[in-house]
Amino acid sequence: MTRQRILRDGSAIRPYRLGMDRNVAIIGAGVSGLTCGIMLAEQGYRTAIFAQDIGQQTTSSVAAAVWFPYHVEPAERVIPLALETYQVLLDLAGVPDAGVSMIESRQFLRTGKIDIPDWAIPLGASVIPSEVERSLEPFESGFSLRTLLTDTTIYLDYLNARFRKAGGEIHASVRFETLEQVDPKFDLVINCAGIGARELVDDADLEPHRGQVAIVPKIEGLSCAIVSDDEPLMYVIPRANDCVFGGTNELSASLTADPATTSRIVTECSRVLNVEKPPVLAERVGLRPFRKSGVRIERGQLRDGRTVIHNYGHGGAGFTLSWGCAREVLQMAAL
């Protein structure tokens, strides 16, 4: 991808604007809808976002979120999108107040030898020396990767502000039963409804893969993320003002936090870090939009003849894929 020159707030400098005569409605104000909104609005499309929930009510706000192509299919499709997003996030790490920063992520296995994925090698992934593994019970092998953390308590506000600055509008508390209900004045509809697409476009392939986390105070001296995705899933992600302890990944649509699960998460994370159990500031639950046949970025037609572009099904990697997917949506919008 050609790297774009960016302004101090992260917005792109572009030589011309494409979409002055199009009215675009985006359904969804999670990371997918906001990122697409920015791409389109900064190109001059008159863009409005409609969403039932916004900000800290969305699934996106439950993620920590670390760049890592986790729990999304198919690899040959998503890895290029993830690597493209990595480059954009790298630029955003230099933007004040975007909430994006570099972080070392240590990926571990409790049993067996971990393989460094091919895509991680050009990003400088390296095997973790055994003395580090031994100091962190109960791991047997691991690799370390310099990656990007998008602190969702800050980053979603940054996306929101950048979208509005580009002329975008956000309409909250709007729920659609079908995409045809979108006001006919919008000639292009973008579906970024996350797990909501299951009902909105009747996609039975989309499954809620529930994740529960506990938010705890900052852990003294902890500067890297620690992840083990063999059972039980365990991760610790230090953020600017707190720390995220996770987690779970199960087929369920329940949004109610389970206290026993929180207790199990806090016990396991504290054991790995070798710290006293911290107090729990908040429990959060989100539904990863996992699509069995893979992420859906696809142009089609609504029953009333209008063009629709679907962008959902990002599983456990919505942030990791966000800019690559939005760039594809922009290209499809221009067809």
Ligand X SMILES: Cc1cc2nc3c(=O)[nH]c(=O)nc-3n(C[C@H](O)[C@H](O)[C@H](O)COP(=O)(O)OP(=O)(O)OC[C@H]3O[C@@H](n4cnc5c(N)ncnc54)[C@H](O)[C@@H]3O)c2cc1C
- Per CB under 6 A, residues contacting ligand X are 27-33, 51-54, 58-60, 62-66, 174-176, 192-196, 200, 211, 213, 246-247, 286, 288-289, 312, 314-320
What's the CA gap between 231 and 172, in Å, rounded? 38
Q: Which is nearer to ligand X, 56 or 331 (CB)?
A: 56
Q: Which is nearer to ligand X, 99 or 194 (CB)?
A: 194
- In one-letter notation, the amino acid at residue 94 is G
The two tokens of residue 23 are: 């009215």
CB of 126 to ligand X, least distance (A): 21
Q: Which is nearer to ligand X, 140 or 294 (CB)?
A: 294
CB of 173 to ligand X, least distance (A): 9
Q: Please answer whether residues 310 and 204 qualify as being in contact, where contact means their C-beta atoms are separated by less than 8 angstroms.
A: no
Other beta carbons less than 10 A from residue 172's beta carbon: 13
Please give the helix or strand (H or E) that residue 327 lies within, else none. Answer: helix 318-333
Q: Please answer whether residues 325 and 313 qualify as being in contact, where contact means their C-beta atoms are separated by less than 8 angstroms.
A: no
Q: Which is nearer to ligand X, 17 or 175 (CB)?
A: 175
User: CA angle, 31 as apex, 29 and 35 as ends, to 5°?
Assistant: 90
The 8-class DSSP code of residue 7 comes to -
3-state secondary structure of 60: helix
The two tokens of residue 291 are: 């699509």
Q: Which is nearer to ligand X, 45 or 68 (CB)?
A: 68
CB of 286 to ligand X, least distance (A): 3
